[in-house]
Structure 1
Amino acid sequence: MSGTSPEDQSVGAPAPPRRGFFAQFWRIIRIYYGRPGDRIRAWGYTLSVVGLTLLQILVELRFNTWNRDFFDALEARDRAAFYGQLWTLLLLLFAAMVSAVAQLWAKQMLSLDWRRSLVWDLQSRWLKAGTHYQLNFMPDAADNPDQRISENTRWATAMAVDLLVGLLGSILTLATFLGVLWTLSGPLHIALASSEFEVPGYMVWAALAYATMGSLLTFLLGGPMVSINMRRNQAEGDHRFALIRIRENSEGVALIRGEPDEDRGLRAAFGRVMAVMNELYGRERALMYLTSAYGMAAGVVPIIVASPRYFAGAITLGVLMQITQAFLQVTRSLNWFVDKYPLLADWRSHIERVAALEDSIEAAESLEADQTINLVVGPTEDGREVLAFKDLQVGHADGNVVIQDANAEIAAGEKVLLVGESGTGKSTLFRAIAGLWPWGSGEIRTPAPERMFFMPQRPYIPLGSLRAALAYPAAPRKFPDAAMRAALERCAIGEFGARLDEEERWDRVMSLGEQQRLAFARLLLHRPAWVFLDEATAALDEENQDSMMRLFREELADSALVSIGHRPGLDVYHDRTLTLMRAPDGARLEVRRKAQPAKRKVRAGPLVAAGQGALRRMMRRG
């Protein structure tokens, strides 16, 4: 892997072949029904749905014979039989109600549990090994993964259950009532010129012809709805993403008075939603012309077709009503496609969006497995724990080289400052060390991931309590309150010690400088063996920067430190400096100089000094 250059490599992972719709849907089914932890529940809910659907069809079959008996009693003016049929109707209504509610419960549980399984699978894979980060740099990666995981999975599973249960019910109903209709309709005698012939079960052929005509017209009118729904989902996702970006960057927008420009952008994004929705609504109106007339005629057509036998005295009024009801059941089953086409088009768009996200995650996973930078985790052959680069070349996903032929070694406990002009790849090198950036060649040897701690310029502050933010990524209760308060005090934000259990948007409550000091307090609690700072003191004044950097001489003296920084005075806290020098074919890593001992004494601030002793005592006891 280390012998090829980024220019010779394909960009990212090879794109997976585009799967057909049914192959995409089968993958989503397999996630739920094939996983050992979900399999028993999945089949339990599924069999419940199937059994209750069969029960509903049996109730409908009994209701069909009730129609015959009821109308025969009405035609015969048999009062006793008439009232007897009313009691039978009450029992049938009760059975229909109970079976329908039970089936609805089973369908709801199946769709919810299926969605849970799918969401958990996508979330865990999206978050694994920085895949969520790598997708931002991969060409043709699925957009708006948040919408695909939260919204598209909901509709993909809920609609699938509704549609598949409806299809199953239609097939079983068709099989049941075709026999009824064939038996009741009898032959139709047709005379053409001097020839006579009969059509057996003619009502069945009439139902098939009626349903076929409706299906063909529906397909012609509604065919474009699949692509329209795909574009609608994308437009909706883009508009929501624009809103989220403004919310997350509201301070920057407000300070620069960018609201008018943002409003124009949002109007344009929602304009695309409006355009595609108008196109979709137009298709729905075209279908409504068909379905409204088609559904109304369905109740009259069987009576008209069967009336010759009724007028001939071959069937009673009860049988005519039974034929009509059986015809409606058959055509309703055959018209499943007609009735559900708009829903099918929408459902397909959700399935394809979920499948596209899974394709992107698979591409990122294969990228991790086939990464061109050989990431070696563990000590050297002589047992030393080091961070080392050997013939390292780091590039972008498009093949452009950022860092060329880097060779260096950093020993455990060493303090190294990494400097260079903006754009020479310092932060990209950190991403490669963390295993998030596979594009390039050569070798990086790193300590075990659990021994490394990365601190970016803007710390990540999770939602929830301050305790959770301070302990992150560990469990909130891992560290005692006293140690947490001491760490906050040592980092000059001790006033937040009384608010550990308050839940706030701490990334908004705290200034960026306070957030950076919170990250250093987090560092004190975790005490990693290797620390990587990417301009983690950029928002601090000189006094607070000195206070934070002294942690690596005092409380964290045994930890190795690799830091990126441009601020003056940082070099005195490091043993040596590595410099990335810009060059036409990629920056070169050079050892520029040894850092000189500090020539000035930095005085701790009053809050800093107050917490140092308490924290050291607490850490020794821990």
Structure 2
Amino acid sequence: MSGTDETRRKPAEAEDGNTRDSFLRRFWRLARGYYTGPERRSAWMLSAGVIALTLAQIAIQVRFNLWNRDFFNALEARDRAAFFGQMGTFLLLTAASMSVAVFQLYVRQLLQLRWRQWLVFRLQNRWLDGSRHYQMNFLPDIADNPDQRISENTRWATAMAVDMAVGLFQSVVMLISFVGILWTLSGPLMVAFGSNEFEIPGYMVFAALIYAIVGSTLTYLIGRPMVDINIRRNQAESDHRFALIRIRENSEGVALIRGETDEDRGLRRSFGHVVSVMKDLMRTERRLMWLTSAYGMVAGVFPILVASPRYFSGAITLGVLMQIGSAFGEVTRALNWFVDNFPRLADWRSHVERVAALEDSLDTADLLDQESRINVTEGPLEDGREVLAFQNLQIAQADGNILVGEANAVIEAGEKVLIVGESGTGKSTLFRAISGVWPWGSGEVRVPRRDHMMFMPQRPYLPLGSLRGAIAYPAAPRKFSDSAIIAALQRCGLAHLTGRLDEEERWDRILSLGEQQRLAFARLLLHRPRWIFMDEATAALDEANQDAMMGLFQQELSESALISIGHRPGLDLFHDRTLHLVRSPDGAKLTTPRRTGTVGVRRRGAGGANAAARGIARVLRGGRKGRS
């Protein structure tokens, strides 16, 4: 597990190191599509609503500042009527402030939700499109844990972005609004320098500016490591979560082999990375807390202290003094936005980097379409025939190593063909190339229409939800009638499940592997595809059940073409012919002996292979109807 952790940390380190100078550009990439795409009208309307309500909040704050002056002046003058009049004004301002704050919160949260929804759907669609979710598992330096990046990191990347954008906008407008007030109220300050005396107009503004600059500089210097630490924390948390999910998904294997002790060691080691990073974060946060605590305490006294000489000289009233203190507080809060939000900025950046790294990985996967790859052509030939044909097909691994060196063959509709070969010769990968999910290699594959094909892996995929949905997959659960589903289950020896069609369970855990494989055959009976591809799809069945399931291709599914991979004895009896993948130094070769009345490729040296390839090329072009 340690080695796995080290491998999985590399992308995170690359995220930070390779994109540091382009962070804002990468963030804008996550926002641009929302504000310029189909959702742009809603995006701009919600953003305008947030801005308008924020401006209303600031207007109320400005009015509160004026109230502050009038209230303390009434208090100093012992004017009872004015005092209670100001209390009434206070209640009105409070009610207005509460109403605007609540509505602004609603609009802001709606903007966050809509943006996140757009981003999640965008990433999900890109991740699922063209089997990218599968291909990315084989690419180097790809963002790990895409599930967490889509579900969790998008939430914080969008929510924190909106919150901080609103906070920054509010701080800028508050600064503009209160600087003028503070400049007017503070008046000039006479400073003696030797025998010279000069005047500093609006000196409280300069005091606030100096105060904020000192605080921001110290905060940046102390808190700068938090950016890298938060990126490492997110990575460590996702690694630990991945380890937990992996054990849950493989709990039976762990339990049977009694591997709990070793898994516990691995989990402790994984969480140890979390603890280590969290200690670094806590240490930095403690240092920052010393500064922010002192800074906040001094901010309440500093403006009163600086303005007090003018109050004691009688130049300003108590109300003006309190108004100066309030305005100074608003100005410093606006200038201190960076100070107050530095930890959140660091955390937000780590989430944005993780989402942006997933976008980069999807871009890398998209480049597969532009590079040299297996050319898969879908649909019938010019004469209307559907065939499965390989011409000069070469299949490579993602790192470029050749797995299948040469494959030339034509399989006609309705044929039953068994593919055999030693383990590791690329039989399953050949199926992946046929399905279009394995792009690495060269050559051509002609396949039938995709909706005429169905693939059956050794472990069938059973989606979450009802048993009805699992049988009908990938069609909608209600596409097939109850009678059709029940008949299919009974035909496949699953009559005991007919009363549980609408139960929602983890069927991949409740059913044995043998039952799952028979359920996949029941799925065939419902969909009745014209082309069926089986990869060890009967491996968990006993001989009697295997014969019963394979008998479907001689009865109910006799018109369907069957291409299967298998090693079980007796499978060849259900097929018309056999293709062999034979291991060789240059990659496995697909060979077949010529048999009367069958379709095949006869290989007798290079000349035979070239002749076969020429014949297949004619078939792919819709040429003569003879067999290769």
Question: Gaps (5+ residues) in structure 1?
Answer: 1-14, 598-622
Structure 2 CA distance for aligned equivalents of residues 579 and 595 of structure 1: 17
1:343-397 deviations in whole A, cap 9, x for unaligned?
Answer: 0000000001011111111221221343511111122233321111111111111
Q: How does 1:457-606 map to 2 (within 5 A)?
A: 457-592=458-593, 594=595
Q: Letter of the aligned partner of 2:293 in structure 1?
A: S
The residue number in structure 1 matching 2:27 is 25
The residue number in structure 2 matching 1:300 is 301
Structure 2 CA distance for aligned equivalents of residues 56 and 157 of structure 1: 23
The offset of 1:459, in angstroms, is 0.3
The residue number in structure 2 matching 1:10 is none
The offset of 1:309, in angstroms, is 1.5
Structure 2 CA distance for aligned equivalents of residues 473 and 593 of structure 1: 38
Structure 1 CA distance for aligned equivalents of residues 581 and 225 of structure 2: 55
The residue number in structure 2 matching 1:6 is none
The residue number in structure 2 matching 1:197 is 198
Structure 2 CA distance for aligned equivalents of residues 589 and 34 of structure 1: 51
Q: Letter of the aligned partner of 1:506 in structure 2?
A: W
Structure 1 CA distance for aligned equivalents of residues 200 and 391 of structure 2: 85
Q: Letter of the aligned partner of 2:243 in structure 1?
A: A
Structure 1 CA distance for aligned equivalents of residues 332 and 347 of structure 2: 24
Q: Letter of the aligned partner of 2:366 in structure 1?
A: E
Contact 1:461/1:469 (<8 A) preserved: yes
The offset of 1:94, in angstroms, is 0.8
Q: Letter of the aligned partner of 1:571 in structure 2?
A: D
Structure 2 CA distance for aligned equivalents of residues 594 and 68 of structure 1: 103
The residue number in structure 1 matching 2:163 is 162
Q: Letter of the aligned partner of 2:159 in structure 1?
A: A
Contact 1:416/1:575 (<8 A) preserved: yes
1:533-591 deviations in whole A, cap 9, x for unaligned?
Answer: 00000000011111111111111111111100010101111111111000011001101
Structure scoring higher RCO (CA < 8 A, sep ≥ 6) equals: 1
The offset of 1:282, in angstroms, is 0.7
CA distance 1:273–1:594, shift in 2 (3 Å)? farther
The residue number in structure 2 matching 1:150 is 151
1:480-527 deviations in whole A, cap 9, x for unaligned?
Answer: 000000000010111101100000110111000000000010011011
Structure 2 CA distance for aligned equivalents of residues 445 and 312 of structure 1: 95
Structure 1 CA distance for aligned equivalents of residues 240 and 145 of structure 2: 10
Q: Letter of the aligned partner of 1:361 in structure 2?
A: L
Q: Letter of the aligned partner of 2:574 in structure 1?
A: Y
Contact 1:572/1:595 (<8 A) preserved: no
Contact 1:576/1:593 (<8 A) preserved: no
In the alignment, does 2:413 pair up with 1:412? yes
The offset of 1:595, in angstroms, is 10
The offset of 1:594, in angstroms, is 4.6
Report the TM-score when normalising by structure 2: 0.91
The residue number in structure 2 matching 1:239 is 240
The residue number in structure 2 matching 1:359 is 360
Q: How does 1:47-126 map to 2 (within 5 A)?
A: 47-126=48-127
The offset of 1:34, in angstroms, is 2.0
Structure 2 CA distance for aligned equivalents of residues 67 and 86 of structure 1: 11
SS for the counterpart of 2:141 is: coil
Q: Letter of the aligned partner of 1:215 in structure 2?
A: S
The residue number in structure 1 matching 2:611 is none
Q: How many residues align?
A: 581
Q: Letter of the aligned partner of 2:189 in structure 1?
A: L
SS for the counterpart of 2:391 is: strand
Contact 1:572/1:596 (<8 A) preserved: no
SS for the counterpart of 2:96 is: helix
Q: CA RMSD in A?
A: 1.5
Structure 2 CA distance for aligned equivalents of residues 31 and 379 of structure 1: 38
Structure 2 CA distance for aligned equivalents of residues 33 and 433 of structure 1: 39
The residue number in structure 1 matching 2:286 is 285
The offset of 1:64, in angstroms, is 0.2
In the alignment, does 2:41 pair up with 1:40? yes
Report the TM-score when normalising by structure 1: 0.92
Structure 2 CA distance for aligned equivalents of residues 179 and 482 of structure 1: 79
The residue number in structure 1 matching 2:453 is 452
**Which deviates more, 531-540 or 384-393?**
384-393
Contact 1:571/1:595 (<8 A) preserved: no
1:277-331 deviations in whole A, cap 9, x for unaligned?
Answer: 1111111111000000001111111111111211222111111111110000000
Q: Letter of the aligned partner of 1:283 in structure 2?
A: T
The offset of 1:163, in angstroms, is 0.6
Structure 2 CA distance for aligned equivalents of residues 593 and 425 of structure 1: 22
Structure 2 CA distance for aligned equivalents of residues 550 and 503 of structure 1: 31
The residue number in structure 2 matching 1:432 is 433
Q: Letter of the aligned partner of 2:367 in structure 1?
A: S
Q: Letter of the aligned partner of 1:33 in structure 2?
A: Y
Structure 1 CA distance for aligned equivalents of residues 35 and 511 of structure 2: 46
Contact 1:71/1:321 (<8 A) preserved: yes
SS for the counterpart of 2:344 is: helix
Q: How does 1:305-344 map to 2 (within 5 A)?
A: 305-344=306-345
SS for the counterpart of 2:138 is: coil
The offset of 1:593, in angstroms, is 6.2
The offset of 1:147, in angstroms, is 0.5
Q: Letter of the aligned partner of 1:424 in structure 2?
A: T
SS for the counterpart of 2:408 is: strand
**Which deviates more, 193-202 or 336-345?**
193-202
CA distance 1:68–1:254, shift in 2 (3 Å)? same
SS for the counterpart of 2:443 is: strand
Q: How does 1:215-226 map to 2 (within 5 A)?
A: 215-226=216-227
The offset of 1:40, in angstroms, is 2.1
The residue number in structure 2 matching 1:615 is none
1:156-176 deviations in whole A, cap 9, x for unaligned?
Answer: 111111111101110110110
Structure 2 CA distance for aligned equivalents of residues 129 and 371 of structure 1: 16
Contact 1:181/1:201 (<8 A) preserved: yes
Structure 2 CA distance for aligned equivalents of residues 467 and 75 of structure 1: 79
SS for the counterpart of 1:20 is: helix
Structure 2 CA distance for aligned equivalents of residues 275 and 422 of structure 1: 43
Contact 1:576/1:595 (<8 A) preserved: no
The residue number in structure 2 matching 1:182 is 183
SS for the counterpart of 1:22 is: helix
Structure 2 CA distance for aligned equivalents of residues 368 and 269 of structure 1: 36
Q: Letter of the aligned partner of 1:24 in structure 2?
A: R
The residue number in structure 2 matching 1:270 is 271
**Which deviates more, 81-90 or 325-334?**
81-90
Contact 1:457/1:536 (<8 A) preserved: yes
Q: Letter of the aligned partner of 1:494 in structure 2?
A: A
The residue number in structure 1 matching 2:371 is 370
